[in-house]
Amino acid sequence: MIMSARLWRRRPAYSGRWEAARLSPLILTALIAGLAFSTPREIAFSRLLPVAPALAAAMWPVLPTILLGAFCLLLMIVLSFLHTDLGTQYTAAAIVAVTLAAAYGSHVRLQREETLFQIRLVADAAQKVLLRPLPRRIEGVEIESLYLAAQEQARIGGDFYEAIGTPHGVRLLIGDVRGKGLSAVGAASAVISCFREAAYDEPDLQGIVHRLETAVRRHSAAFPAQDQPEHFATALLTEIPHDGGYVRLLNCGHPPPLIAHHGEVRVLVPTIASPPLNLAALIGDRYWVDVVAFAPGDQLLLYTDGVSEARDHAGEFFPLPDWMRRQALEQPRELLDRLHRALLQHSGGRLDDDIAALALRTSNPQDRGTVGIEG
């Protein structure tokens, strides 16, 4: 009974439709009783009374389900005094049998809901460790995040991000482990943990990515599988120096970010492609850093392929650059909220891949313009 009460209280208070649905067994009972008392005996609506406790088992705890069954049995007894040839004993036996079965079904359902609730608590705790809430501002850089896991009932998946203020400036990471859902969480955790250490220690982005490469390779070796050569992660490393004015980007096979400047949106395709993490041994380990102007008021959007590859019913990808060009230079939070709504509308409310996005805007008054390309 304690577990039943706990789960009863956990129902979302914001859901008016759920509150109305919980009353449906009572409404059904009243409807059947009213018809049974007001219609001729030959119609025998009373035979529908076992349906009410069966419906209650889907949404009520055990005790209320039993009480409703007892009430239906009492109604049947009262009806038997008005109509002696209703077959009361058969209907009463059906009410008792259905009520006992419904009570057991309600007990099993509550146990499963309790298990799911505990799993969600663990997932929420894991998310706070893996994807801890980002500060909304680091050294004059406004940062907002969006994360949606595609796997049903999951809170975390294979997409990841992090933002840290370091002695070298604000450094950010966004990436995507091959696969989705809980199966990719381990590799994502290894990458993020490594980044949180390397971002402080390494003087440049190339040093960070070498350490991330090693972390993914070690994780892949510790959890071997038949497709181990395909264990990889795309990643985008970003650095905004203390004096601002520009941003450094190192793209390891990740979707290119977008930058909005005075109403113009550019796709920041890397000058030279760098290999995804754990594929450097196969295609080379040369990493290239692009330097792009990032003036005060500019918007920088980092995202995973779940955003750009979201499909509609016709199989068309979400037109992210075109969508970005139609947006005004809103606050980063407003930009991501609009992106969230646009993705759900485009995909019909169903996401096929994990989604992560970071929106950045600098308020640093200095503007050094475009510095060029570092190799």
Q: 180 to each of 79, 157, 214, 216, 313, how far by Cα in Å? A: 58, 6, 22, 16, 21
Number of H helices, E strands in the chain: 12, 12
pLDDT value at residue 354: 80
Element (H, E) at 26: helix 24-38
Q: Which residue has the tokens 């009783």?
A: 33
Between 87 and 5, the higher pLDDT residue: 87
Q: What is the mean pLDDT of residues 5-15?
A: 46
pLDDT digits (tens, 9 = 90+) for 142-191: 999 998 876 555 556 678 899 999 999 999 999 988 765 555 777 888 89
pLDDT value at residue 210: 93
CB 184 within 8 A of CB 160: no
SS3 111: helix
pLDDT value at residue 151: 59
Query: Mean pLDDT, the chain, as a whole number?
Result: 82
pLDDT value at residue 119: 75
Same domain, 355 and 208: yes
To the nearest whole percent, how much of the chain has pLDDT over 70? 83
Residue 214 half-sphere exposure, CB side, CA atoms within 13 Å? 9
Same domain, 335 and 264: yes
Least confident of 168-172, 221-225, 232-236: 221-225
Same domain, 362 and 224: yes
Same domain, 138 and 114: no
Is 126 domain-assigned?
no
Same domain, 146 and 238: yes
To the nearest whole percent, how much of the chain has pLDDT over 90? 42
Domain region containing 80: 18-121
Same domain, 243 and 336: yes
End residue of a domain, out of 121, 146, 167: 121
CATH number at residue 327: 3.60.40.10
Number of domains in the chain: 2
Q: Which residues 6+ apart lie within 8 Å of 338 measured at CB?
A: 327, 330
End residue of a domain, out of 121, 155, 179: 121
User: What are the phi and psi torsion angles at 134 (to 5°)?
Assistant: -80, 145
Is 3 domain-assigned?
no
Overall pTM > 0.85: no
Same domain, 250 and 344: yes
CB 175 within 8 A of CB 236: yes
Same domain, 280 and 333: yes
Least confident of 158-162, 271-275, 369-373: 369-373
End residue of a domain, out of 121, 149, 180: 121
Same domain, 233 and 339: yes
pLDDT value at residue 133: 82
Same domain, 184 and 316: yes
Please report, to the nearest 10 degrees, the dihedral formed by the alpha carbons of residues 325, 331, 333, 338 taken in order. -30
pLDDT digits (tens, 9 = 90+) for 319-334: 999 999 888 767 899 9
Q: What is the mean pLDDT of residues 3-31?
A: 65
The amino acid present at 7, given as its one-letter code, is L
Same domain, 160 and 94: no
Same domain, 243 and 264: yes
Is 128 domain-assigned?
no
